[in-house]
Chain A
Amino acid sequence: MITDCILTNLESVPGRQTIEHYGLVSGSTVRAKHVGRDIAAGLKNIVGGELKGYTELLIEARGEAVDRMKQQALAMGANAVVNIRFSTSSVTPGASELYAYGTAVKIA
């Protein structure tokens, strides 16, 4: 029983054979900005450059979306998710939805 899940954005896992196909799996999270980080980012916004607080926040949030997708795939009995795509959209002022989707498959 493999509990880990291979993630790739290729159409199949190279060197492995796809034996079963489970269809679409997805995970999403909607995140609002953090007040503390927002103030720091506001200051940084005057000078310009990278807003590190936001970079970290979005990486963390995207990780959660991927985790949810992975959970869904594992629950189906898959051991890999292929053809993963990310999508980001601003839903309300100050909040973003991070969405990850892919195809759950079983590989040999």
Chain B
Amino acid sequence: MIASTESGGLEALLALIPFLLFAFFAVVLPVICGIIGTITEKRHYESIHAREKATAHVPVVPTPLSDDSVRIASAHMVSASMVVAPDSFRRFLANVRNFFGGRLRSYESLLDRARREAILRMKEQVPGANAIVNLRMETSRIGGMQKKKGIIAIEVLVYGTALTYASAEAGPTPPPVS
């Protein structure tokens, strides 16, 4: 009597294995990834805020140079990019959201992060520059062409022209704040 219930329990346990595996890949793994993704995002934002503060004296503007009064010592192009992907939990949430419509908040913060990081990388490439003008941004999707298969990633590219003012050679001048 006891033995039969034990073997029945074992069989039930064996029958549960596919279900448990499914639960792991469908629920547990995405949740873990979601937690990791949240932590990474928080840390990334902290680093972005700190670096933005540190490089705030270099203006980055999307307009071409219009001020004729400053003499330019050098001008050259700089570009930087970042490829990002959402974690699987956020992707799942976005898919759900996609069905009902509305804001995909997880993608908004992902793209915001990527863009700001790319701008910071561009600024950090030219530590001696006084300004970066004519900023252009471009976003493109790479990979993920087949349905469900493949990698879905987004590339954010920023580029502009880094200017060094001629007067800056004599010594550090206060940044032009307009």
Contact = CB atoms under 8 A, between A and B. Distances in A.
Interface in B69-100: 71-73, 75-77, 79, 81-88, 90
Which of A9, A13, A41 has the most C-beta atoms of chain B within 10 angstroms of its own C-beta? A9
Contacts, number: 126
Interface size class of B (residues with CB under 8 A): 35 or more
17 contacts: A9-B77, A10-B133, A14-B75, A14-B163, A41-B151, A45-B85, A45-B153, A47-B37, A49-B40, A51-B83, A51-B84, A51-B85, A54-B153, A55-B83, A88-B155, A93-B145, A94-B150
Contacts of A7: 76-77
A29 interface: no
Contacts of A21: none
A8 B108 CA distance: 31
A89 B133 CA distance: 25
Contact of B75 (A8, A50, A52, A94): A8
Contact of A54 (B71, B83, B145, B163): B83
Contact of B72 (A14, A54, A58): A14
A12 to B, nearest CB: 9
Contacts of A54: 83, 142, 153, 155
A11 B64 contact: yes
Given A90-B141, A93-B146, A13 B75 contact: yes
B65 interface: yes
Interface string A32-62: 0100001001101111111110110011001
Given A7-B77, A10-B64, A58 B87 contact: no
A86 B133 contact: no
B74 to A, nearest CB: 9
Given A45-B151, A88-B157, A90-B141, A10 B134 contact: yes
Interface string B105-141: 0000010001001000000000000000110101011
B33 interface: yes
Interface size class of A (residues with CB under 8 A): 35 or more
A51 B143 CA distance: 12
A58 B71 contact: no
Which of B73, B90, B140, B160 has the most C-beta atoms of chain A within 10 angstroms of its own C-beta? B140
B16 interface: no
A6 interface: yes
Given A54-B153, A96-B140, A59 B81 contact: yes
Contacts of B73: 15
Interface string B24-45: 0000010001001100100010
A51 B84 CA distance: 6
Contacts of B75: 6, 8, 10, 13-15
